Amino acid sequence: MPKQIVNALEMNAFNLTTLNGYLGGLFFYYALMGAIAAGLWGSGVIAGEERNKTIEFALTLPVSRARFLTAKALAALTLSLAFVLVTWGATLLTIQPYDPDGDVYAYLARLMLAMAAIEVIFLTVGLLAACALKRPKRAGSVVIAVILTTFYLSMISGLDERVDFLKYLTPFKYFDAAALLHQGGVEGVYWALSAGVVGACLAGAFWAYNRRDVLI
């Protein structure tokens, strides 16, 4: 394969004949699948109320919009974490015939923690999109566009050192499977960036939802 493609997919970072290498190679796609699911859940918990014409009843209940939005966000978070646990459990069952050792279990745990972090980031992005857009039904499309854009940026950042700075713009690079394998963890700057993105999205979502007119 061309060197650029190998670098973009980080295929040179893993030995695919080992369990750890195989799991690391798959993580790119695990993360993308989880990000899409979480992003759509994050946007759907708000957009679904207006799409199903139940938002008028929901907002007549004796609860504030902030509490309503918090409950919705926690519901989406529960789904996202359940998705991670199901993926984790299914992967554990799949690798049993190959006699995994403690290193494999530890690496898989780090990958699943990274997957959960990516899901939380895009869940809040979806929540912000649904709260900020005048037509929340479009939030799902916006979230998918953001996810795919950041996914491609993560690949492009590996093509050449001159575009390495792009890794700071995509959560898929914050939690890099190769770094989790060879360095045993995620750099503090990426945790800080993740916390900043999540915090900004949540603050923006609550601010926007408290101030916008709801479509009935």
Q: Which residue has the higher pLDDT, 58 or 41?
A: 41
Both tokens of residue 116? 């959960």
Q: How far apart are CA 199 and CA 190, in angstroms?
A: 14
Task: Write the pLDDT tens digit of every residue in 127-146.
Answer: 999 988 888 778 889 999 99
Residue 156: how many CA atoms within 13 Å on its side-chain side? 13
- How high does pLDDT run on average in the chain? 87
Q: Model confidence over 140-171: pLDDT tens digits?
A: 899 999 999 999 888 888 777 788 888 899 99
Give per-residue pLDDT as tens, 9-20.
566 667 778 898
Report whether pLDDT(205) > 90.
yes
Q: What six digits make up the tokens of 201?
A: 């999205």
